[in-house]
Structure 1
Amino acid sequence: MDFPPDLEPWIRLGAFAGVLAALACTEALAPRRQQVIGRWRRWPGNLGLVALDTLILRILFPAAAVGVALLAEKRGWGLLAAVDLPAWAEIVIAVAVLDLVIYAQHVLFHAVPALWRVHRVHHADLECDVTTGLRFHPVEIVASMAIKFAAVAALGAPAVAVLIFEVVLNATAMWSHANIRLPERVDRVLRRVLVTPDMHRTHHSAVTCETHSNFGFNLAWWDRLFGTYRAQPAAGHDGMTIGVPQFRSPAELRLDRMLLQPLRRGDLAEKG
């Protein structure tokens, strides 16, 4: 399937901006939780990380994951190159497998103390909203891209499938962290397939057993399949505490403090 690589960054940017704007407006009009610490305290650091991450990725990996997919197609790399499947089937399989890889990566970053030090920057946000879904330390972003490159090459994922996955992952990361309220019945039905904001918000609880649950960003199947699903936080969504216990000061929301958090004390045993 022909794919124009020059369009990749524009497609991703357009989807990112549209989803971010739509969810931010929805949060302002109908928030799920009333935030104690508002956007003006949190968003400069969170969006500063987004800008820094984007710059670093474009410098280190100018071709992005789509470029790896195009190279794999050209060289005949990967499992999908060894089987004869319709294009639509390859796309569905590739998107699902890549989503499983991201789930496994997320579990790994919680399980290994050195990786948790990097990943806890994401969890140290004192509220949970659309920008929390974009708040990742540059070291984690680079590591995640390297894992994604390896998965794309090993699978032989079609370039169009990788683009779809990248757009969907970015959109669902913002969606699953959004501070929006869904009708209970809609949430209950939707989370049978997709991760909902209420489902993922539990993952941002300061309570350890809740932090280590609901790892998915997109498909809700993996948490149920691997036993990491938790329906609701024990304190309820209005009463739960969000964040990491050792980084409770609003000063930790500054960009410079977030970048240095992995170098500071704290491990899995200290989390709640």
Structure 2
Amino acid sequence: MEWLLELEPLVRLGVLLGVLAPMAAWEILRPRRKLQVGKAYRWANNWGIVVVDTLLTRLLFPAGLVGIGLLVESRSWGPLQVVDLPAWMIVILSIVFLDLLVWAQHVMFHAVPALWRLHRMHHADLDFDLTTGLRFHPLEILLSFGIKAGGIVMIGAPAVAVLLFEIVLSSTALFNHSNVSLPKPIDRILRLFIVTPDFHRVHHSWHPNETNSNFGFNLSWWDRLLGSYQDQPRDGHDNMTIGLNLFRSPRWERLDRMLIQPFVGPADSYPINLRAEDREAERDASDDAEKRDR
């Protein structure tokens, strides 16, 4: 299976480019919303974060998550390595479990203030397009790697399932963060199964109750089943404010400033575990700030 390790970077890059090109063209030809910050400026810095994240993970974990999947197979770790099921079913179970794990991880990064400091860089983007789906702080990327690695070992996910999951995750992140418009009937059908751009855009609203909803990246089931689903933003998709009540200046879109965001300002604005009265005060403060900006 060493060929899988050798081909994995090329396969992932090929699929990424194969999804990126048509989605980027779609955004240019039929954008859902007008951007607040120049695309060239944002893209240069957002892709800069992607390069930093990729170099860091490849330096620290050269074999990647697929290598952990190969290790799991060679040692027969986890229940999926010993259960008598068809290979295709094991792959599907692995992908569904890892998707639930990423959903739970996402909720945790919103619930714990220290983790929220890392994750909020993703939410501080003043616009919402396909590069937002790849914009994560390097420290969050490393923590996410560790969480997914633990899940792979725990259930015994095979390497092929891990590779497919990573491909699906990155592809759907580009799709559901894209600044594109789907016809409402198609969106209604698709969001029963997968996360659509309108589904996930609600999660990037600056209203805290909307930021803390629609956590899914791939399958939309978890938010519906576990009570975190919100159908539409209260201000509408065209008028909603993207981002947070912090980092509202475009200068925070610069690569160097994005990297220091976890260490700047308070972390008490958006975490899920705010007391009800604190959340209400935060909502009022957000509304007041929005009125001033308008």
In structure 1, the partner of 2:126 is: 126
Pairwise CA distance, 1:177: 0.3
Pairwise CA distance, 1:267: 1.4
Give unmatched runs, 5+ long, in structure 2: 271-281, 287-294
| CA distance, structure 2, for counterparts of residue 268 and residue 189 of structure 1 | 37
In structure 2, the partner of 1:64 is: 64
In structure 2, the partner of 1:268 is: 268
After superposition, the C-alpha distances for 1:68-107 in whole angstroms (9 at most, x for unaligned) are: 0000000010121231110000000000000000000000
After superposition, the C-alpha distances for 1:248-267 in whole angstroms (9 at most, x for unaligned) are: 00000000000000001121
In structure 2, the partner of 1:34 is: 34
In structure 2, the partner of 1:235 is: 235
In structure 1, the partner of 2:53 is: 53
| CA distance, structure 2, for counterparts of residue 266 and residue 201 of structure 1 | 24
In structure 2, the partner of 1:172 is: 172
Give unmatched runs, 5+ long, in structure 1: none
Indicate whether 1:4 and 2:4 are aligned. Answer: yes
Indicate whether 1:212 and 2:212 are aligned. Answer: yes
Q: TM-score, normalised by structure 1?
A: 0.98
Pairwise CA distance, 1:41: 2.2
Q: Is the 8 A contact 1:128 1:201 kept in 2?
A: yes
The range that moved more, 131-140 or 2-11, is: 2-11
Alignment of 1:104-123 (within 5 A): 104-123=104-123
Q: TM-score, normalised by structure 2?
A: 0.90
| CA distance, structure 2, for counterparts of residue 139 and residue 61 of structure 1 | 14
The SS at the match of 1:198 is: helix
Instruction: State the identity as a percent.
Output: 56
Moved over 6 A (4+): none
In structure 1, the partner of 2:155 is: 155
Q: Is the 8 A contact 1:3 1:159 kept in 2?
A: no
Distance 1:268 1:176, change over 3 A: farther
Distance 1:3 1:98, change over 3 A: farther
Counterpart of 1:189 in structure 2: which amino acid?
A: I
| CA distance, structure 2, for counterparts of residue 224 and residue 114 of structure 1 | 27
Distance 1:153 1:132, change over 3 A: same
Aligned residues between the structures: 272
| CA distance, structure 2, for counterparts of residue 168 and residue 222 of structure 1 | 17
Alignment of 1:77-96 (within 5 A): 77-96=77-96
Counterpart of 1:20 in structure 2: which amino acid?
A: L
RMSD over aligned CA atoms reads: 1.2
In structure 1, the partner of 2:289 is: none
